[in-house]
């Protein structure tokens, strides 16, 4: 099953396991990869296992030169990046010339930033593709994924959470909410899913939140406006463990709208924690639970 793709795939690697899960999947399909590892984010030990270059976020000139040398035309951008402080970037000449575009992209929410970055790569002559397009096995599939199933109450909580994410979509805000017994108890914004779940555990411990044990669902779904080439929400064993620590009943993820580096590992974690794990169909626009 070889893709008829022209040359190796350039993978710009942020933090975490995703870049390598994607690289392995692409290699399995018979295509070569070249990693462009971002110093400070990508894991050096994992990077060393693949053909690679090290670089920095604002070194677009260097990236263009090396990627062209290696015959790459398609670029994937994958892995966690803390929204970098603009003052800390070491900017090369090509980047400097693109600075007005970058600054324009930087204003506004994450989606805006990421779509702007996409246009910049295209301006440099590359084709930006989504990680899930070259490695569809990282997408969370639809249906019940582990041993445990959501109850009717959990299903109702999932519907509320999914509708809330849809309603917040145009505000370019978080990708996850927690709903317990029909009550929204947390909404993710800049803090990320793990910190949001840690907050619920903390509020319960401090007696500031009274929710029955094993009640509540964390719902993750991409924002309706999201550029899926960059920033699909991700779930992993750590998400499941944080949900268990928060006393929740399960994890619901929009099917094909979220990625996971290792599905079997994710399922094992859910089964071990006694949580359900489900891939839910996308929300129907305008539907009210």
Interface residues with a copy of itself (CB under 8 A)?
Answer: 82-86, 107-110, 160, 163-164, 167-168, 170-174, 177-178, 181-192, 195, 199-200, 203, 207-210, 288
Considering the complex, what minimum distance in angstroms separates the CB of residue 89 from a copy of itself?
Answer: 11
Nearer to a copy of itself, 48 or 184 (CB): 184
Residue 184: both structure tokens together: 């929204």
CB burial string 262-273: b at 16+ within 10 A, e below: bbeebbebbbeb
Place of tokens 């109702």: 156
Q: Whose Cβ is closer to a copy of itself: residue 8's or residue 169's?
A: 169
Q: What is the number of other CB atoms lying within 10 angstroms of the CB of residue 284?
A: 10
> By the 8 A CB rule, do 270 and 277 touch?
yes
Minimal distance, residue 200 CB to a copy of itself, in Å: 8
Instruction: Give whichever of 129 and 203 is closer to a copy of itself, judged by the CB atom.
Output: 203
Q: Which is nearer to a copy of itself, 153 or 228 (CB)?
A: 153
Instruction: Name 288's Cβ contacts closer than 8 Å, sequence gap at least 6.
Output: 163
Q: How far is the CB of 133 from a copy of itself (least distance, A)?
A: 27
Least spacing, CB of residue 42 vs a copy of itself, in Å = 18
Q: Which is nearer to a copy of itself, 149 or 184 (CB)?
A: 184
Of 4 and 87, which CB lies nearer to a copy of itself in the complex structure? 87
Q: In what order do the strands lie in the sheet with 127-128?
A: 52-55, 33-38, 9-13, 74-78, 127-128
The least CB distance from residue 83 to a copy of itself, in Å, is 6
CA gap 112, 114 in Å, rounded: 6
Report, in Å, the least distance between residue 242 CB and a copy of itself: 16
Reduced to 3 DSSP states, what percent helix, strand and coil does the chain have, rounded to the nearest 5?
40, 20, 40
| Neighbouring-strand partners of residue 183 | 180
């Amino acid at each position: 099953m070889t893709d008829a793709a022209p040359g190796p795939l350039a993978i710009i690697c942020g933090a975490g396991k995703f870049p390598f899960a994607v690289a392995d999947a692409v290699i399995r399909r018979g295509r070569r990869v070249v990693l462009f590892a971002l110093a400070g984010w990508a894991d050096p030990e994992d990077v060393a296992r693949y053909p690679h270059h090290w670089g920095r976020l604002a070194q677009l000139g260097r990236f263009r030169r090396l990627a062209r040398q290696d015959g790459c035309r398609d670029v994937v951008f994958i892995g966690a990046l803390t929204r970098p402080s603009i003052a800390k970037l070491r900017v090369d000449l090509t980047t400097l010339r693109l600075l007005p575009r970058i600054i324009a992209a930087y204003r506004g929410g994450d989606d805006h930033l990421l779509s702007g970055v996409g246009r910049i790569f295209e301006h440099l002559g590359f084709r930006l593709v989504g990680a899930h397009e070259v490695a569809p096995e990282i997408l969370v599939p639809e249906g019940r994924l582990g041993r445990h199933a959501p109850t009717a109450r959990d299903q109702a909580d999932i519907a509320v959470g999914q509708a809330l994410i849809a309603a917040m979509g145009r505000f370019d805000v978080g990708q996850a909410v927690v709903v317990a017994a029909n009550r929204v108890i947390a909404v993710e914004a800049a803090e990320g899913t793990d910190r949001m779940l840690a907050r619920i555990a903390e509020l319960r411990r401090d007696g500031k939140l009274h929710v029955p044990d094993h009640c509540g669902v964390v719902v993750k779904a991409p924002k309706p406006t999201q550029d899926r080439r960059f920033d699909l929400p991700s779930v992993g064993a750590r998400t499941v463990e944080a949900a268990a620590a928060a006393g929740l009943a399960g994890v619901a993820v929009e099917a094909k709208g979220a990625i996971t580096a290792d599905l079997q590992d994710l399922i094992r974690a859910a089964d071990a924690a006694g949580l359900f794990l489900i891939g839910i169909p996308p929300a129907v626009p305008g539907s009210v639970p």
